[in-house]
């Protein structure tokens, strides 16, 4: 083969390779376009799902939300959400109106420190308004932590709120008890949306909650006086006999022992399940706990013990406790109705766990219950959660975002929500 023939053959080979590379590049671009389209569809479904969850919460707790949704209008509202259409904002507004909104929301999303300052200021001036604004921001600019960068922005927002709201307080636990506390509201919204938190809660609580839901024939009250008050005088006389007699006291104690055994057995199941789920503890919460120790340690008002108690309070009172009381909200159970009795019993278990965790003062009438449990049976689990989180390094947003191919490119918000902001 002559050199000219070799050259021609090389040219043909290069052309074939170029055609192959071009075809592969075109295929990759098409696949990426489909991926973006699918990601946009997932964003839309996530937005709809978050509002459907809002409807569910309104029905279960009608006095909790700013916009009560009555049962008779529930299905109509759900149907509206299912048939909702998403349009580009520039088609609704003109360009000059659309751009400032977009810039403002994007800026707030990318500046969590500034957003934390804004929320803290709003909370001081109008505590009711903050309960409306934060849910809108969570669904609009963070879309319920659909992407990892959403989660990072919210973690930075929570870290800034720790620095602003809790750092210089003599007793930050009191701040967290306020219904208008920005940190508490953002934290609750984050827990509801975070997939890693749902994974931990499902692993730790699904089985014991299901066991409790099956046994919903009787109210299991911590307070013995409450147990007796559930019976009318006639029912009490029929069940326990004449008050003041020895037989009456024996039957009362026997009934109390049955309730104590049930509460102890169910609570022990929860404790053991939490202990076994230690490896599933969400990294995002570990980030927050580590930052809480770093930030609050700079305050001369709080000791290391105070900070640890605050972390225990956050884990048990704001995270695990609410998940036990509202398992459907946190994705622990699905399509399983919770009766009034079962809901009450879940609340009782949550109270017991919180009391055991925080070593709260115990009333004399309930000591017969709490004396059944080993000392530090719950607080030791929380100590393991906290100790495993102390040295977790807060993630760098720049390094994560630079390596991410799919990030948020849209902000989903209604015109009404935009006016409320």
Residue 348 has pLDDT above 90, yes or no: yes
Are 204 and 352 in the same domain?
yes
Q: What pLDDT is stored for residue 6 in this prediction? A: 79
Q: Is the dihedral of CA 339, 198, 132, 130 positive or negative?
A: positive
The pLDDT score that the predictor gives to residue 59 is: 74
Q: What is the pLDDT of residue 73?
A: 74
| Residues 246, 251, 254, 260, CA torsion sign | negative
pLDDT of residue 187: 92
Residue 273 maps to a domain = yes
Give me the count of residues in the chain: 421
**pLDDT number for residue 138:** 87
**CATH code of the domain containing 221:** 1.10.506.10
pLDDT-derived band at 291, boundaries 50, 70, 90 = confident
Q: Residue 230: phi, psi to the nearest 5?
A: -75, -15
pTM exceeding 0.85: no
pLDDT of residue 385: 85
Residue 312 belongs to domain spanning = 196-396
- Is the pLDDT at 222 greater than 80, yes or no? yes
Q: What's the structural domain count of the chain?
A: 3
Same domain, 203 and 348: yes
Cα distance between residue 260 and residue 81, in whole Å: 46
CA distance 404 to 202: 28
The pLDDT > 70 percentage for the chain reads: 91
Residue 46 has pLDDT above 80, yes or no: yes
Together in a domain, 139 and 158: yes
| Residue 123 shares a structural domain with residue 41 | no
- Angstrom CA distances, 13 to 10, 17, 401, stand at 5, 6, 40
Query: For 186-344, where are the E strands, in sequence order?
Result: none
DSSP string, 13-73: HHHHHHHHHHHHHHHHHHHHHHHHHHHHHHHHHHHHHHHHHHHHHHHHSTTTSSS---HHH
Gap between the Cα atoms of 355 and 50, Å rounded: 32
In tens, the pLDDT along 80-89 reads 888 888 888 8
Task: Kindly state whether residues 242 and 324 are assigned to the same domain.
Answer: yes
Give yes or no: residues 239 and 308 share one domain: yes
- Is residue 323 pLDDT above 70, yes or no? yes
Domain for residue 401, yes or no? no
**Tokens 């360009």, located at residue:** 95
pLDDT in tens, 19-38: 888 888 899 988 888 888 88
**Do 142 and 210 sit in the same domain of this protein?**
no
pLDDT at position 315 over 80: yes
Do 146 and 235 have their domain in common?
Answer: no
Amino acid 360: pLDDT: 65
| Model pLDDT for residues 79-121, shown as the tens digit of each residue | 888 888 888 887 777 766 778 888 888 888 889 999 999 999 9
């Amino acid at each position: 083969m002559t050199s000219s023939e070799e050259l021609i053959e090389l040219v043909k080979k290069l052309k074939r390779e170029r055609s192959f590379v071009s075809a592969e590049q075109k295929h990759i671009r098409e696949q990426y376009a489909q991926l973006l389209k699918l990601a946009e569809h997932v964003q839309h479904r996530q937005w709809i799902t978050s509002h459907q969850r809002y409807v569910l919460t309104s029905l279960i707790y009608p006095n909790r939300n700013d916009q009560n949704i009555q049962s008779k209008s529930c299905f109509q509202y759900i149907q509206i959400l299912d048939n909702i259409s998403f349009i580009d904002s520039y088609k609704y507004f003109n360009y000059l109106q659309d751009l400032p909104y977009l810039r403002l929301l994007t800026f707030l999303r990318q500046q969590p420190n500034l957003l934390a300052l804004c929320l803290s200021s709003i909370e001081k001036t109008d505590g009711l308004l903050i309960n409306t604004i934060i849910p809108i921001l969570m669904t609009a600019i963070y879309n319920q932590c659909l992407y990892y960068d959403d989660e990072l922005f919210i973690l930075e927002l929570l870290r800034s709120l720790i620095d602003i709201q809790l750092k210089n307080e003599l007793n930050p636990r009191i701040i967290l008890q306020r219904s208008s506390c920005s940190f508490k509201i953002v934290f609750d919204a984050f827990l509801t949306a975070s997939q890693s938190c749902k994974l931990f809660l499902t692993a730790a609580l699904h089985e014991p909650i299901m066991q409790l839901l099956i046994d919903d024939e009787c109210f299991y009250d911590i307070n013995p006086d409450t147990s007796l008050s559930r019976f009318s005088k006639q029912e009490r006389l029929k069940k326990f006999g004449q008050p003041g007699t020895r037989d009456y006291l024996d039957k009362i104690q026997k009934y109390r022992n049955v309730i104590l055994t049930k509460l102890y057995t169910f609570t022990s199941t929860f404790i053991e399940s939490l202990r076994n789920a230690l490896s599933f503890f969400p990294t995002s919460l570990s980030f927050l706990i580590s930052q809480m120790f770093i930030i609050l340690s700079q305050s001369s008002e709080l000791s290391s013990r105070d900070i640890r108690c605050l972390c225990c309070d956050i884990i048990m009172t704001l995270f695990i406790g609410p998940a036990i009381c509202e398992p459907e909200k946190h994705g622990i159970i699905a399509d399983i109705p919770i009766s009034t009795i079962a809901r009450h019993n879940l609340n009782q278990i949550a109270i017991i766990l919180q009391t055991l965790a925080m070593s709260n003062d115990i009333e004399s009438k309930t000591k017969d219950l709490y004396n059944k449990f080993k000392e530090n049976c719950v607080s030791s689990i929380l100590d393991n959660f906290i100790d495993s989180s102390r040295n977790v390094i807060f993630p760098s947003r720049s390094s994560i975002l630079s390596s991410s191919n799919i990030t948020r490119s849209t902000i989903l918000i209604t015109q009404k929500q935009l006016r409320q902001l």
